[in-house]
Amino acid sequence: MKKTSRMDMNVLPEGCISNIISLSSPGDACRSSVVSSTFRWAAESDTVWDRFLPSDYQEIVSRSFSPSPVLFSSKKELYFRLCNTPILIDQGHKSFGLEKRSGKKCYMIGARELSIVWGDNPMFSEVAELLNVCWLEIHGKMETRILSLKTTYTAYLVFKFVEDGTYGLDFNPAEVSVRYVAGVEGGGETRPVYLSPNFTQRQQNQNVPRQLGLVSRRRRLSHVLRLPAPTASEREGQHPKERVDRWMEIEMGEFFNDRGEDGEVEMSLTEVKGCNWKAGLVIEGIELRPR
């Protein structure tokens, strides 16, 4: 029987191995580093991780809104820095990070960048707190050119509740939608979601003026309320989930980004039918993540 010879990959130049690994994925690169010392040096090279970073990462990082610059000793370190700790950009109005498995872009549109009805109060804000309104309307827009191309994105509203003084959010479902603007086809269907953790106490005070007050993140918020499991009596709709960072999120919808330079996506959440007074919702922003 004729023996088949096998090529020893370790005899290849390190640069050649790096080029081969760069055509794989971040996960494959990490796994290949345990093959041998040659593969480890190749897998950790800037040649490999420069391929996994977005082509415009330098321009994005240069917009970092921080007292100190984003420091890194290698492209691999920067990659995982962006995966694990998103950076604030654009004067703190957005945050930017990467999806760990694919390296695709993730963004959060901060509260100050959203269009919130009765949200023009001039007080300083890093997040927005619903003080007392009867009309809840939140809109955010994102240009598709800054997102990863040929990627399905899901939009999430990120929020929490104050422990005392939250009411009016369990009367009616809110409605969410994600759509391309300017008449471009795709998305746009509206569906119900439930923001409320089903408080038993419903408070209404018709004498308090309508406003969406703004609070600083530096101000101490009450402990986050944990969500109870949905009961059989609840109507059909989507309920929020608690995140690792102790905020909550609820899915608003998804879209496929194949528009490149020409598209803009709008994400909306409204609750305008009940006209009951609402308070206690703290909004951090709208996050866009690859599905």
Residue 138 inside a domain? The answer is: yes
Supply the range of the domain harboring residue 118. Answer: 99-199+237-290
Q: Is the dihedral of CA 228, 248, 265, 103 positive or negative?
A: negative
- Confidence (pLDDT) at 6: 58
- Residue 40 covered by a domain: no
Answer yes or no: is 108 within a domain. Answer: yes
Give me the pLDDT at residue 206, please. 36
pLDDT of res. 80: 96
90: alpha, beta or left? (left if phi > 0; alpha if psi -120 to 50):
left
Q: What is the predicted pLDDT for the residue at 117? A: 79
Q: Which residues pair with 289 in a beta bridge?
A: 154
pLDDT value at residue 93: 93
Q: What is the pLDDT of residue 199?
A: 35
CATH code: domain of residue 162: 2.60.120
**pLDDT score, position 231:** 47
d(CA 286, CA 159): 9
Q: Is residue 154 part of a domain?
A: yes
pLDDT of residue 4: 52
Q: What is the pLDDT of residue 107?
A: 98
Length of the chain: 291
Measured CA angle at 235 (ends 266, 265), to 5 deg: 5
Residue 266 lies in a domain: yes
Instruction: Tell me, yes or no, whether 176 lies in a domain.
Output: yes
- Tokens found for residue 288: 């866009």
Rounded mean pLDDT for each run of 10 residues along the chain, 291 residues in total: 56 75 86 79 89 96 88 95 95 95 96 79 59 88 95 96 83 91 66 71 37 39 42 56 92 90 90 83 95 90
Flag whether 257 is in a domain: yes
Q: In this structure, are residues 120 and 129 in contact, taking their beta carbons and an 8 Å threshold? A: no
Q: What is the pLDDT of residue 34?
A: 76
The per-residue pLDDT for 276 is 81
Give the integer Cα–Cα distance in Å for 268 and 253: 9
- Three-state helix/strand/coil letters over the chain: CCCCCCCCHHHCCHHHHHHHHHCCCHHHHHHHCCCCHHHHHHHCCHHHHHHHCCCCHHHHHCCECCCCCCCCCCHHHHHHHHHHCCEEECCCCEEEEECCCCCCEEEEEEHHHCEECCCCCCCCCCEEECCEECCEEEEEEEEHHHCCCCEEEEEEEEEEECCCCCECCCCCCEEEEEEECCCCCCECCCEEECCCCCCCCCCCCCCCCCECCEECCCCCCCCCCCCCCCCCCCCCCECCEECCCCCEEEEEEEEEECCHHHCEEEEEEEECCCCCCEECEEEEEEEEEEC
The answer to whether residue 44 sits within a structural domain is no
Q: Give the total number of structural domains in the chain.
A: 1
